[in-house]
Structure 1
Amino acid sequence: MRHLLRSLWDEPGAPDPPRRTRWDWVLVGVFVGLVVLEGIVRQGLPHRVPQVAFAVAVVPTLLWRRSRPSEMVTIASVVSVVEAVLAGGEQAGLRSLGVLVLLPFALVRWGSGREVMFGSVVVLAAAGLSLAVSEATAVDAAGGMTILFAVAALGLALRYRAREKTRELDQVKLLERERLARDLHDSVANHVSAMVIRAQAGVVTAKSRPDAAVDALRLIELEATRALGEMRAMVHMLRGDAAAGDHDPSPGIGDVGSLAGNAGHGPPVDVAITGDVADLPAAVGTAIYRLAQESVTNAVRHARNATRVQVRVDIDDAAVRLLVSDDGDPLLGQALPGYGLLGMSERAALLGGSCEAGPNPDRGWQVSAVLPRAGAAS
């Protein structure tokens, strides 16, 4: 039990709670109006003016319910006790103050562990005092506590659902970084291997053919420059080391053509590559292949009634552009991005580019990506 309480106490608050928006101000304005209206039209309300004044003063705590939930819950709890005292006997307080149930929800949803524990004690104590002062029946007490616990349970469920969603997204990003790290590692290793071979050839031919040795040195310089650029990109883009182990050679821009054809269980795939692929960095070529591969896989699996999938790669001096489209049935409603699309966006961003997916203007779905030809800036 002690360990459980300690872990709850050390629980951090929810990261990046939503900022205050104009709708929060609208919410406060609406409920201030309801409080005033109830104070005017409700019959038999004791201490009408003080109750309405306290209620109007406490409703603005909703504006800080996400950023300072513990303090706002404390203020509202104190006011609820005062209101119960003013109401007295069996007279109920202002029903329009039921909006303050949003404060316990916000406390559990966004507060830290110590804020939740302190705020819970305050809320329960205030609820008990209010029920005692108002001489409420057991049914009223049970109903009030049920509402409080239901609101807290909802906030807790949404809190941990958001946390699991964040963990899943972080895992997708981590896996994509590891895969990109592997691809970069393999491409740099290829450059180093080429330098070793050129150096060995230069040593052998240095005496008999000095010009060949000079050519070998120039090629070594070129390979070293490419390797250095990709290693710098790796340092800028990745955190942590690539997973150890043997890996298959990384695919490149030339492997995009292997995606063409018809697997027999989906629409045929047509591939066209235009532009000069010479001197294209291996990391960029691998990224284009991976993006095209994922896009084609999604189209073959999910495009309804599609008759074709087109893959177009356009390469110029500044950028490499990829467009993958199908002519399937239009999607109904707004499609939510899956983890595959998030991983594709992450890969493109790590190389200084962008990747977007959405419905075609006419029908079907398309994925477009733009990567700098030179890769991420060093």
Structure 2
Amino acid sequence: MLRHDLRTLWTEPRPPGAPARVRRDWALLAAGLAGVALEAGLREHVVWRPVAVVFAVWLWLLPLWRRTRPLATVTLAFGSVGLLAVASFVAGQGEPVGLYTGAVVLVLVYALPRWGSGREIMLGGGVVVAVGTLCVAIDGTPVVEKVVGLVFLLLPGVLGAAVRFRMTARERQLEQVRSREREQLARELHDTVAHHVSAMVIIAQAGRVLAGADPSAAVAALEGVEEEGARTLEEMRAMVATLRDRGVGAELAPPAGVADLERLVRTPGGRLSVDLDLDGELDALPPAVDAAVYRIVQESVTNALRHAVDATELAVRVAAERHTVRVSVRDNGRRPGRGRDGYGLTGLRERATLLGGTLRAGPGTDRGWHVEAELPRARSENGVHTRPRR
């Protein structure tokens, strides 16, 4: 078991999306160099002052590469710390060489498990433990202080690992939300296609019965089959995920759409006054777009009920234009905290993207929370928006 866990850790890749440098890195470097200058100028009894200053500047430069080269920065920093500790010990210095601002190495200890791969974490962790053990071994402080110092050195690494685990868990949950949204969209498309195919079969059977007695009725039946087949092909082109296995005897029912919004907005009751405005031709929307409009409004209304503090009004507007459908949901409440997107909004954004549209959610200019979505009425096989069939 332990061997398997170690092998799994060794093959763990780096977390994606690590930025090379951001603005706060340069601010941190400027503050660190200013601290080195102040300590070197104001502090008395600095052992090997020129060496200590150069060494501190070197340590403050290394964090610039802590995300892209975590193992290299830890190795260089702690390797130089170990060499300087051995040199001072051989020279018989009673006090450690270096400035207090050299504590910036703790940032590198944090960055190693936060941004490194499993191989880098294990190798870099070995370097940190080895150098830390060496330093406390040649130091003349009591044993308790040595243990406390070693624990203090490793604590940022534990914090970095915890942050990485938390972010990885959130990314995994977000991916599950996206996957469920793709699956739900695929099921809705599957149900729609099944309805079309069932209609084609019935029309074809009727045409075969009437072919001998009424040829014109057979021709009309063939035209109906052609129309249903064209609609089916349009929906099949929108398939974006693998269909989930359905149970035997599962009912094929069309998903809720724009026609169900009136019933949906009556659900909040007396707490929120919901103003629903439907504009344009919304009766001939493709089923996938129709269901997406309903899901966007449903999730937005639910979020307003759960998170909008002191909200009294909710404005829902769905407008159908020539090639697009625009959905807008706005409340007049306030959102405590940072207002980060939840998993529901993540799923809606994924659905809008799959359909070739966009969705934006965030605080309004004055107050409240706004959800704005733009969906194409239809799209062709290569993704170019087209006008739907009439």
The two structures have a TM-score, normalised by structure 1, of: 0.90
Q: State the match for 1:326 in structure 2.
A: 331
| Residue type at the aligned position of 1:79 | S
Q: Does the alignment pair 1:338 with 2:342?
A: yes
Deviations 1:50-87 (A, max 9, x none): 33223323322111111111111111111112332454
Contact 2:308 2:334 in 1 (8 A): no
Q: State the match for 2:246 in structure 1.
A: 244
Q: Does the alignment pair 1:374 with 2:378?
A: yes
Residues 242/103 of structure 1: CA separation in 2 closer, same or farther (3 Å cut): same
Deviations 1:288-312 (A, max 9, x none): 1121222223334444444443332
Deviation at 1:335, TM superposition (A): 1.8
The two structures have a TM-score, normalised by structure 2, of: 0.87
Map 1:343-362 to 2 at 5 A.
343-362=347-366
Residues 292/124 of structure 1: CA separation in 2 closer, same or farther (3 Å cut): same
> Structure 2 residue aligned with 1:170, among 172, 175, 197?
175
Identity %: 45
Contact 2:258 2:290 in 1 (8 A): yes
SS in 1 for 2:277: strand
Q: State the match for 2:277 in structure 1.
A: 272
Q: Does the alignment pair 1:91 with 2:95?
A: yes
SS in 2 for 1:176: helix
**Inter-partner Cα distance in structure 2 for 1:67 and 1:288:** 42
Q: State the match for 1:144 in structure 2.
A: 149
Contact 2:268 2:305 in 1 (8 A): no
Contact 1:90 1:136 in 2 (8 A): no
Deviations 1:277-330 (A, max 9, x none): 344211111111121222223334444444443332211221111222334x33
Specify every segment of 5 or more residues in structure 1 that has no aligned partner in the other structure, as ranges. none
Provide the alpha-carbon RMSD of the alignment.
2.4
Residues 127/316 of structure 1: CA separation in 2 closer, same or farther (3 Å cut): same
Deviation at 1:28, TM superposition (A): 2.3
SS in 1 for 2:181: helix
Farther off after superposition, 266-275 or 17-26: 266-275
SS in 1 for 2:362: strand
Residues 303/106 of structure 1: CA separation in 2 closer, same or farther (3 Å cut): closer
Q: State the match for 1:283 in structure 2.
A: 288
SS in 1 for 2:288: helix
**Inter-partner Cα distance in structure 2 for 1:42 and 1:264:** 69
Q: State the match for 1:52 in structure 2.
A: 53
SS in 2 for 1:242: coil
| Residue type at the aligned position of 1:242 | R
Residues 362/117 of structure 1: CA separation in 2 closer, same or farther (3 Å cut): closer
| Residue type at the aligned position of 2:48 | H
Map 1:7-22 to 2 at 5 A.
7-22=8-23
SS in 2 for 1:170: helix
Q: Does the alignment pair 1:186 with 2:191?
A: yes
Residues 221/311 of structure 1: CA separation in 2 closer, same or farther (3 Å cut): same
**Inter-partner Cα distance in structure 2 for 1:305 and 1:96:** 49
Map 1:194-343 to 2 at 5 A.
194-234=199-239, 237-238=240-241, 240-245=242-247, 246-247=250-251, 248-261=253-266, 264=269, 266-327=271-332, 329-332=333-336, 334-343=338-347
How many corresponding residue pairs? 374
Farther off after superposition, 274-283 or 304-313: 304-313
**Inter-partner Cα distance in structure 1 for 2:309 and 2:145:** 55
Specify every segment of 5 or more residues in structure 2 that has no aligned partner in the other structure, as ranges. 383-390
Deviation at 1:8, TM superposition (A): 2.4
Q: State the match for 1:35 in structure 2.
A: 36
Residues 10/95 of structure 1: CA separation in 2 closer, same or farther (3 Å cut): same
Residues 361/45 of structure 1: CA separation in 2 closer, same or farther (3 Å cut): closer
Residues 197/354 of structure 1: CA separation in 2 closer, same or farther (3 Å cut): same
**Inter-partner Cα distance in structure 2 for 1:172 and 1:11:** 23
